[in-house]
Amino acid sequence: MMIVMKPDADEEQIRHVVERLESVGAKGHVSPGAFVTIIGAIGDREQIASLPLDAMSGVDKILPILKPYKLASRETHPDDTIISTDGRKLGGSNFALVAGPCSVESEDQYLRAARQARDAGASMLRGGAYKPRTSPYSFQGLGEDGLKIMAAAREETGLPIVTELMDPRDVETVLKYADIIQIGTRNMQNFQLLSEVGKVERPVLIKRGMSATVEELLMAAEYVLKEGNSQVVLCERGIRTFETSTRFTLDISAIPVIKKLSHLPVMVDPSHAAGKRDLIRPLSLASIVAGADGLLVETHPDPEQALCDGSQSLPSDDFREYAKEVRRYVEMTGRSVS
């Protein structure tokens, strides 16, 4: 961390900053410059971060040098993290194609979707039993009944299931059924929830908040990793911008950026990003070649009857063709669908 003093900062102010650094066991390396004096703070990152340096008199600004995350960083963990669940792998040379409806609506709907996903070659099943909805008047999910249906689908298809946890009080219930616990966009900075799933032994998929920076996403992962759970997957799902021709703006650059900064696998959800069915294919292929480790795509046996996200779901009939193309591009990049 570098502390840039104001041009008119005096000796007393400089000394004061150094003393505060020393008070937490750190050191302040003073570099007088032609225009301004800079103090390099050296010591324990957390200790230094606890000081309100930018509130001290004479201080102009604070320039961080090191990343604020540690466990999520590729510097401290150069090898790709590979997530393993029920024999399916995600990360490294293993690409995961996760398919299924936005929400579990009924046993019939979900089992049909699950069979079609398996037949077309999906790696895992997705589906929501607890649904975060902008409106309190929209369908809120089937709760544990939905989880039971998902478990039945896993039983029949052999595919692991990915499902969202929204409330720390539901951790135990969700653990009974889910192979991968999803933390949704709106909960990316629900720090209690992140800490809770950090304490369990189950892979956690964190979706990027719709206005979260890449750094904030990595800090969310850090919350989980810090509690001891090292099986974390990140998911880009579009960010909020001024553009209205898509529901969100898929931040395709986030894939290579995160892969460089972190060892954690990165998935992409093209359905939520675009909000439109006909964009799923191009955005999926783009994500694969940009380096994504997997796709989370909404499919539905009959999108027109869907209780949510019908317009951004791929009809199961089209999914077979889509999955074939996904495999072709994944193989082009030297990997295979797990």
Binding to its own copies in span 284-303, by CB under 8 A: 285-291, 303
Min CB(87)–its own copies separation in Å: 29
Closer to its own copies by CB, 84 or 167: give it: 167
Q: Alpha-carbon torsion 240, 243, 246, 250, what sign?
A: negative
SS3 266: strand
Strands 161-164 and 266-268 come out as unpaired
Closer to its own copies by CB, 83 or 274: give it: 274
Residue at token pair 């946890």? 165
The binding track of 220-259 with respect to its own copies, each residue x by CB under 8 A or -, is: --xx--x------------xxxxxxxx--xxxxxxxxx--
Closer to its own copies by CB, 41 or 124: give it: 41
Min CB(99)–its own copies separation in Å: 17
| Residue 210 binds its own copies (CB under 8 A) | yes
The binding track of 91-120 with respect to its own copies, each residue x by CB under 8 A or -, is: ------------------------------
SS3 314: strand
Closer to its own copies by CB, 22 or 289: give it: 289
Among positions 298-327, residues that touch its own copies (CB under 8 A) are 303-311, 313
Q: Among 58, 126, 77, which residue's Cα sits nearest to residue 98?
A: 126
| Residue 219 binds its own copies (CB under 8 A) | yes
Q: Among 60, 68, 49, which residue's Cα sits nearest to residue 7?
A: 60
**Spatial distance between the Cα atoms of 212 and 203, rounded to a whole number of angstroms:** 21
Q: Among 227, 273, 271, which residue's Cα sits nearest to residue 254?
A: 273
Closer to its own copies by CB, 75 or 108: give it: 75
Q: Alpha-carbon torsion 200, 182, 186, 257, what sign?
A: positive
Q: Alpha-carbon torsion 66, 71, 73, 74, what sign?
A: positive
Q: 251 phi and psi, to 5 degrees? A: -90, 80
Q: Which of residues 76, 106, 192, 336 is near its own copies by CB under 8 A? A: 192
Among positions 21-80, residues that touch its own copies (CB under 8 A) are 29, 31, 33-36, 38, 40, 42, 45-46, 49-50, 52, 54-57, 63, 65-66, 68-69, 75
| Residue 12 binds its own copies (CB under 8 A) | no
